[in-house]
Structure 1
């Protein structure tokens, strides 16, 4: 009489487990190699899709205004071509040290100091 130990059909055999683990590791490495780290970079929009950004006149503050509405008192639209789109993009950084005066002229921000 032989003694045979049975195991469930779903149990992995040691050799099969190593093959599955190696395949998963190789697949993960391929994804990282093909996509690169830059693809995981998160960029935050200045405003939501149904809004546009405005800046504080004579200051570096800002706000978002619903499309179709005018900026509130004390705020102005950014000059065309100089509108920030994402946090820390070229124009967002620029407007940290610049602003518009009451006549719409670009000036150094008084509180940029």
Structure 2
């Protein structure tokens, strides 16, 4: 009796399809579900805050349209060299 084997490409395609349907990404999210990222005022640090909380003292929300979503994405890279000052202006961080 002949045994049936699933071709490797079929198994790989199933994993890709499942990831697409569930919204999973191969990139690491900046924050977990139910959280949003905040930026350190005057520095390049960041943290995650519960959706129903305000940013803690010394942190601010990222400006609209410039919020990093995944580690290494366009805005994550941008905020490694920029910050928000105490007046809410975006400034470039001086190189050390």
Please indicate the TM-score interval, normalised by the length of the shorter structure: 0.7 to 0.9
For structure 2, the 5+ residue unaligned runs are: 20-24
Give the match's secondary structure for 2:7. helix
In the other structure, the counterpart of 1:63 is 47
Task: Return the alpha-carbon distance in structure 2 between the equivalents of residues 30 and 66 of structure 1.
Answer: 40
Q: Which one has the bigger helix percentage?
A: 1
Q: TM-score, normalised by structure 1?
A: 0.66
How far residue 63 of structure 1 moved from its aligned partner, in angstroms, is: 0.2
For structure 1, the 5+ residue unaligned runs are: 1-15
**Looking at both structures, which has the greater relative contact order when contacts are Cα pairs under 8 Å and sequence separation is at least 6?**
2
Structure 1 runs (4+) greater than 4 angstroms displaced: none
Q: In the alignment, does 2:8 pair up with 1:28?
A: yes
Larger radius of gyration: 1
Q: TM-score, normalised by structure 2?
A: 0.77
